[in-house]
Amino acid sequence: MAWENRGNNNRYYYRGRRVDGRTVKEYLGSGEAAERAAAEDEQRRQ
């Protein structure tokens, strides 16, 4: 999904997924794990 800026330049990564036909945002944080997830999502999109 995407990085979101919240508050004072804090970036958080969220991933969208489908649950019972609805899109649900999954919070992945702002640290190294979020960076890895963002890189994996980008790789999957390409």
List pLDDT tens digits, range 5-42. Answer: 988 889 999 999 999 999 999 999 999 999 999 999 99
Which tokens go with 31? 């640290």
Looking at the 3D structure of the chain, how many domains does it have?
1
In angstroms, rounded to a whole number, what is the distance separating the alpha carbons of residues 31 and 24? 21
**pLDDT of 1 higher than 80:** no
Ramachandran region, residue 37 (left: φ > 0; alpha: ψ -120 to 50; beta: rest): alpha
pTM of the model: 0.74
Query: Residue 29's beta-bridge partner residues?
Result: 13
pLDDT attached to residue 9: 84
Host domain of residue 15 = 2-45
What's the confidence (pLDDT) of residue 26? 93
